[in-house]
Structure 1
Amino acid sequence: MSSASFHPAEGPARRTVFAAAGAAGLTVALSACGGDQEAADDSAGASASAGGGKAKGVLAATADIPEGGGKVFSDRKVVVTQPSAGEFKAFSATCTHQGCAVGGVADGVINCPCHNSDFSISDGSVKGGPARKPLPPVAITVDGDSILLA
């Protein structure tokens, strides 16, 4: 036997060292991603309560939601509509087709820009496009001139 042969008692195999290094790197990367999201969530919550006078749960003033239209609140993943004067509805802002965020409200429909699915501002039902399921409703309450997540 040559003197350059490997003996298990001398240390870990090269493959084990590389696998451990890869696992450690993945752990650091995942921790960094999670930390960034928590920091983003914390800063969003802080700005919602400190900036603009909006308390936690308040989405908008009723005057911010146009009659016959609506507004997407991407940070809260909700879209609020006003199908008729004084009637406010809210739906998930996540398209039921492939999970894209809906992009806007116009001409009585909520539109998803990814594949052009359209949803009714009255009940979230599918009006066109590849989506087959309606947008799920989101519970809201109207308190005076404020719209709040329930």
Structure 2
Amino acid sequence: MNPEKSLPRRSMLLGAAATVGGGLALSACAAQPSDSAAPSTAADASAPAGTPVRVGKLSEVKVGATATGTANGKTVVIFRSADQKVLAYDATCTHAGCPVAPSGQNFECPCHGSAFKGADGSVITGPARSPLAPLTAAIDGDWITVTA
């Protein structure tokens, strides 16, 4: 494209409309997880940054299983690796930003097919190349807490 030539106003407006419409279409294709083992959101999912937030009951996630929850308005995914150990990750796919969903012992992105290991957040299959962002997770009595 020649930077000296300006686009006609109509072409610019059509291009801008297509860009905005495409963004809305991508955000609309995010699937909501329907995993019945997903922890329920606790009484207050919003807390000051750096504060652990209850994202679900420990009893709702079996050892070796995955689930999803919300901490401070951010969707998180959980993997219970042992009886008294849980791991958490930001649920944002590192490829295109779609939310990943629990799938057995792993997490899958419904938008482009990336899959991530629950045990460490690493990429199993792409197109994603980077692992999920780890979060601080802990067990507090009967609750799973996440700092996000």
Residues 87/141 of structure 1: CA separation in 2 closer, same or farther (3 Å cut) = closer
Aligned equivalent of 2:60: 64
Give runs of aligned pairs for residues 41-120 of structure 1, distance below 5 A.
Answer: 54-56=43-45, 57-73=53-69, 76-106=74-104, 108-120=105-117
Task: State the alpha-carbon separation in 2 of the partners of residues 53 and 137 from structure 1.
Answer: 21
Contact 1:72–1:102 (8 Å) recurs in 2? no
In the TM superposition, what whole-angstrom CA distance separates every residue of 1:36-74 from its partner, at most 9, and x where no partner exists?
xxxxxxxxxxxxxxx986344210111111221111226
Residues 148/130 of structure 1: CA separation in 2 closer, same or farther (3 Å cut) = same
Residues 127/58 of structure 1: CA separation in 2 closer, same or farther (3 Å cut) = same
How many residue pairs are counted as aligned between the two chains? 99
Q: When the two structures are superposed, what TM-score results if normalisation uses the length of structure 1?
A: 0.59
Contact 2:42–2:55 (8 Å) recurs in 1? no
Q: Choose 1 or 2 for highest CA Rg.
A: 1
- The unaligned stretches of length 5 or more in structure 2 are 1-39, 46-52
Residues 115/53 of structure 1: CA separation in 2 closer, same or farther (3 Å cut) = closer
Percent identity (aligned): 33
AA of the residue aligned to 2:78: V
Task: State the alpha-carbon separation in 2 of the partners of residues 85 and 98 from structure 1.
Answer: 33
Task: State the alpha-carbon separation in 2 of the partners of residues 81 and 129 from structure 1.
Answer: 20
> Could you say what secondary structure the match of 2:135 adopts?
coil
What's the Cα RMSD here?
A: 2.1
Q: When the two structures are superposed, what TM-score results if normalisation uses the length of structure 2?
A: 0.60
Contact 2:77–2:91 (8 Å) recurs in 1? yes
> Could you say what secondary structure the match of 2:74 adopts?
coil
Task: State the alpha-carbon separation in 2 of the partners of residues 124 and 105 from structure 1.
Answer: 13
Contact 1:72–1:80 (8 Å) recurs in 2? yes
TM-superposed deviation, 1:90:
0.1
More helix by share: 1
In the TM superposition, what whole-angstrom CA distance separates every residue of 1:4-55 from its partner, at most 9, and x where no partner exists?
xxxxxxxxxxxxxxxxxxxxxxxxxxxxxxxxxxxxxxxxxxxxxxx98634
Say which of 117, 131, 144 aligns to 1:147.
144
Aligned equivalent of 1:122: 119
Contact 1:69–1:82 (8 Å) recurs in 2? yes
